[in-house]
Structure 1
Amino acid sequence: NDPHFTFVRSNFRYLHNFLRYHGIEQVDAILADLGVSSHHFDDSERGFSFRFEGALDMRMNKRAGLTAADIVNTYDEERLADIFYLYGELKNSRKLASVIAKARISGKISTIGEFLDIIKPLFGREREKKELAKVFQALRIEVNREMEALKEMLYAATKALKPGGRLVVITYHSLEDRMVKNIMKTGNIEGKAEKDFFGNVRTPFRLVNNKVIIPDEDEINRNPRSRSAKLRIAEKIAE
């Protein structure tokens, strides 16, 4: 009930639109936590985890149309391979896509169990959990268009911050890291540095820290849930 707090039930990619809607031109600070809620992963009906049986869904927003099952069953083999390679950084992405494409000929892949039966033989027992996590991460990112959403949010944040305003982003994997570092160092997602006459990089930000902040061993031990998250915090100040 605090008048200083306004909750917006929407994807943060629409940051610019909702600031305008609420009559806010610029802000002092933006904190973006890119982590996925454990409530999503622990709900078998949401289909985010290979630990539970359920529908192959993975939608953050249940009102959205595209599901992980739709991707697995309708994307062509090359597009599937690209997703697993780019978003999951899987070395056997082409083999994985080929096996899925052949399996779905026999019938639609609808559940997590059916999907696991198809892909598990491709991974050795010693690295099975890590590799499966990468597969599910790749599908989740594609289902929710996470990279596009992050791109739009970062550009909106750049415009929304007041001079001297601070941008803090908590990231959890290298894909997010790269995009955040690029926009903070060069002002664009691609990391293409544009220089002025004197050779200085044109960027709207000034680094607070030259390197990302990561938890030390003591902090990790005090917060067991953050061990696998590999929490990274990047801070910038807008100039």
Structure 2
Amino acid sequence: MQLSRVTALITLPVAAMLVLAGCSTPSAPDAKPTEKASSSATSKPTSTGSADGEVTEPGAQVGIDEPIVYESQGTDGVTALISAKLTEVTPATADQVAFLKTQFDGGELDGYDITLIRLEMTKVSGDPVAFNSDATSFAPVDADGEKVQEATLIGWDECGSESFTEEFDGGEPITQCYVAAAPAGGKAPAGLMYDGGFTDPNPYDSFDGDPILLIKD
């Protein structure tokens, strides 16, 4: 399979470092502590969200195909309720791993197991949100709710993310895909964390609040 103009970058949550393949490495932003995300992974309430628009409480934990509902805040005061559910957590195939390693040709993925994580999103109600996106409000985590390394490829059809569409405004779901990398033999990626993104106020923040965990059983 050939892909045109695929851009690869890899995110290390501990150091918050971005590495852009084929280019110089940009300066890493200040890393934030991860203690809050770790402590929030225990004794979590179950989800109170549902497709009827009841917003899920901070700190909830849900499993595969169990929806959460959150308020999406876009530009110009746009707000909408979005339902999201974890649908798939699967190891990458040998061919997918081989392709990814050709994109990260500096060896960044050597010694890592790769997992593909898929999230289905549906608009529940609210303002038009076409061309906005909440993909970066979710991040891969292990079964304990700890963030794991995320690799992002722009333009990879087998695992990509997209902006909200006009069809999404009409109720058609979209799927976001995340590529997670964990050291071989270590804790495997198990799902996603919702940290509220740029919501203000943000009770789901992974450092100052309680994120929602969507983790396979």
Please classify the TM superposition score into its range, dividing by the shorter chain length: under 0.3
Greater share of helix residues, 1 or 2? Answer: 1
Q: TM-score, normalised by structure 1?
A: 0.23
Structure with more of its chain in strand, by fraction: 2
* Relative contact order, higher structure (CA 8 A, sep 6+): 2
